[in-house]
A and B are shown apart, each in its own frame.
Chain A
Amino acid sequence: MSRILIVEDDERIRSSMRLALEEEGYTVDGVGSGEEAVSRFGTEPYELVLIDLMLPGIDGFEACRALRRTSTVPVIMVTARSDTHDVVAGLEAGADDYVTKPFVAKELAARIRALLRRSRHEDEDSAFLSFGDVEIEPEAGVVRRAGVEVHCTRTEFRLLCELANHPGKVLSREQLLERVWGYDYFGDGRLVDVHVRRLRTKVEPDPASPRFILTVRGMGYKLAV
């Protein structure tokens, strides 16, 4: 029974989402502000957090950053619009995925399942992976750079494994979206872009001119061999 924390200031939405997600078999707690979310998250273990970006007090971005400082828990943000920079800002604040209001409960449940599935049993390729001074232990879920452990979110970790499993091969955004997030062809490529950027700041010596995780213009991304 996975525990989910909903951060949403509209009480009705919170209640209806709790009803719908409980129907899917999750245990759901709801809080109405970012501050409450941070304090509640510190005391109780949650396997996934849903954060609305528009919150009174500290907003969803800030709450997400606060969670990220201590945790790699999967975060789904709830936005009003999909075509704004809110999405990118939310992803950069550390969210793993996003849904747009009004969302269909089944779709939200599918997103949650995809993220939790990834969190549960990590990578099926359990070999030891490495490139440059970066070492990955897929089974342990550990990434080290020059022997020092690097803290990645589970989505970043999964993306890194996907790239490292196919060194020198170009993976399209669609392929990465499908393998890492479980999206189809029309998934939002910005998820990949922002996660790649986040990943670069963790494993690249100079994230501005990457040596390992390369952009192949018009094609996708690849790990340099």
Chain B
Amino acid sequence: MSSATTGVGTGTGIPAAAGRPETWSDATGTPVAGDVTRHARSKRTRLARGLGLRSRVTLTFAVGAFGLSTLMAGITYFTARQTFLSERQSAEQRQAFANAALVQNALRSPVTQVNQLIESVDTLPGSRSVLLTGGQWYATSISVGQSAIPSGERQLVLSGTPASQLFNLAGSPQEVIGIPLPAVHSFYFEVFTLDELAGTLRALAFALAAAALVTTVAGAAVGRWAASRALRPLAGLTDAAVAIAGGQLDTRVEAGDDADLEELASAFNRMTSNLQDRIEREARFTSDVSHELRSPLTTLAATVSVLESHRNQLAPRAQSALDLLDGDLKRFTRMVDDLLEISRFDAGSAELSLDEVDPGELVRRAVAATAPADADGARGPVTFPVEVGLGVDGLRLRVDKRRFERVMANLVENAAQYAGGVTRVLVERQPPYSATIPTPATAIRVVVEDQGPGIPAAERDHLFERFYRGARAGQRAAGEGTGLGLSLVTEHVRLHGGRVWSEDAPGRGTRFVVEFPLFPVGDDGTEGPLDSGVPA
């Protein structure tokens, strides 16, 4: 219970601002604006990293709207409260002084019944009078008597000073005005209930709080909208960047008629075309170099073949030299072929030429083509089995046969170089065949197994990198490897929308798994397989 008591100066006798009953301060229930912003700022820094720009703008707008609307509501509330209260207080003062004058006149007459007197003075509803006269307390209400008047107020008035005080009585706000009546040695107190005013202020506070809430939500909505609108050009930029990252280097963004965006858009476009130029220049360089190498290689291949056909006329040392020349010429040719192939992938100009084939036959044929050929070009048998799994027969795979043949050749060669050769090739369907639960096949897996020393897990990710030899460098057997074999495998398989990886073979060695989707990405299936690669 508040009991701040203010002395009343002579003249008006009633203070403009009185002690504030506790319940009123509780009723406002709102922390001050400064606290709100500080709170929001700390929240913002904590969340900044986790929130997107859109959310941050929304949050800023919401916090701003909340702060502003709370401030406005607070000012409105306290101004209204002050106005209502002072109006009410002056009315109460007028009544109290009038009543006090009435009581004083009445008390001058000795026959006056004090009880009847104070009963007769109440005019405002809810106001009660308390009178101290002749050392006796009189009151109009049982609930409001001498004890209800705050002691500070009582003492101040009894010492001869008129005073007023706001206080709480049984949870309801009251104002007491005390006026000493020295002429009749009495003291008149009038207690006014402020319930009605408190109710009005509560309704006002509620309305203002609701308005602040609505404003906050509206602020957040506006913030969201503004952020989305401001970020809309960024969505275009994002799409463009994604397209560029996906290899569509000719993607450009349009600024529209926005001067602010124009700068960004033109900078972005400049960057992209520089990037495109550079990538194309590099790809062209590789391609040009490889092309230029083809002419001398053609000459070399033709002349070496002439020497080969006269091999028997050569001295043994010349024969050895010719063999070395022939071997490395083949390797060089392969390298140029591989580089050209890679440059086509890099330039994004690699195209699939699809055929629809039986997977088992495809693998058997591709494996058979890896067997070493004799001088007349006839190939020997392969030294490892090709096992076609259950459920593969009858499936048709749409595949670029040439690329598939290169994939198998590179995997077989890789195994020959590093792992003592392939031990087994498996052809499986994905998901695995099940006699009980039939599921449609989505992909074909070709597994190439060896029984070599295996590949450490740490190296597996690098295996498919260009020219990667890693710890296996020392194990390299003499061969025609170019260092591009496995990276080309990846590129060929990816072009089909498939994937390739290596894992430990059961027991010992490594298995390379190549997965081809039955229907490659970007293949709408409408074009007849027999017309693929041929423009109409």
Contacts and interface: CB of A to CB of B under 8 A. Distances in A.
Nearest to A19: B306
A188 B303 contact: no
A105 B336 CA distance: 17
B356 A105 contact: no
A186 B402 contact: yes
Contacts of B531: 193, 215
B469 to A, nearest CB: 26
Interface stretch (A81-89, A127-135, A142-150, A160-168): A81-89
A13 interface: yes
B302 A19 contact: yes
A190 B361 CA distance: 20
B297 A102 contact: yes
Nearest to B369: A186
Contact of B306 (A20, A102, A173, A184): A20
Interface in A203-225: 215-221
A141 to B, nearest CB: 27
Give the dominant DSSP class at B's interface: helix
Interface in B347-371: 350-351, 353, 355-356, 361, 365-366, 369
Given A88-B534, A102-B297, A193-B534, A16 B302 contact: yes
Interface residues of A, number: 41
Contact of B298 (A102, A106, A197): A102
Given A23-B309, A83-B353, A218-B396, A13 B295 contact: yes
B299 A16 contact: yes
Interface in B278-318: 291, 294-303, 305-306, 309
Interface of A: 10, 12-13, 15-17, 19-20, 23, 80-83, 85, 88, 101-107, 110, 173, 184-186, 188-190, 192-194, 197, 215-221
Q: Closest 10 A-B residue pairs measured CB to CB?
A: A16-B302, A105-B305, A102-B297, A218-B356, A102-B298, A20-B302, A185-B365, A16-B299, A101-B294, A12-B299
27 contacts: A12-B299, A16-B298, A17-B302, A19-B302, A19-B303, A20-B302, A20-B303, A20-B306, A23-B305, A23-B309, A82-B402, A88-B533, A101-B298, A102-B336, A106-B377, A184-B365, A189-B353, A189-B401, A193-B531, A193-B534, A194-B534, A215-B531, A216-B530, A217-B529, A217-B530, A218-B530, A219-B356
Nearest to A101: B294
B5 to A, nearest CB: 101
Nearest to B375: A106
